[in-house]
Amino acid sequence: MSSTDGSGCILVVDDDDDIREAVVEILRDEGYAAEGKADGASALELLRDDDRDVKLVLLDWNMAPMSGLELVQALERANVKIPPLVVFTADAPKDKMARVGAVGFLKKPVPLDELYSYAAAYCRHP
């Protein structure tokens, strides 16, 4: 929507439609350019697109068929520049998240305040 204005967008990757759509909606309500992807493959495709200036990825750790970790590994293999990652997780160990270079994590069910903080930190507020 506002991806071309140079402010960049926030990518929400979660295979749960309700969560993904809720988060995208909340972010958009706050004035951020946010886009949702339901699986690793489409997220990968979007991130390959140099025209899209993705500033922050909110990534669900437990997805099927491609998990959050596998998506990161696929991006590394594809030599795609990886934006800052914030991992949604129920219980995934933090050391794994450190391995993928996450800047933070959000424990489900997503705490709203923290979500706003990360968005503000990595994306220019509209």
Given the rule CB under 8 A, which residues bind another protein? 16, 18-19, 22-23, 25-26, 29, 90-91, 93-95, 108-110, 112
Q: Taking the complex as a whole, how short is the minimal distance between the CB of residue 72 and another protein, in angstroms?
A: 20
Measured from the CB atom, is 83 or 89 closer to another protein? 89
Q: CB-based contacts of 92: which residues, under 8 Å, 6+ apart?
A: 61, 62, 105
User: Which residue's CB is nearer to another protein, number 52 or number 108?
Assistant: 108
Contact by Cβ (8 Å): 11, 18: no
34 vs 44 by CB, closer to another protein = 34
Q: Is 114 left (phi over 0), alpha (psi -120 to 50) or beta?
A: alpha
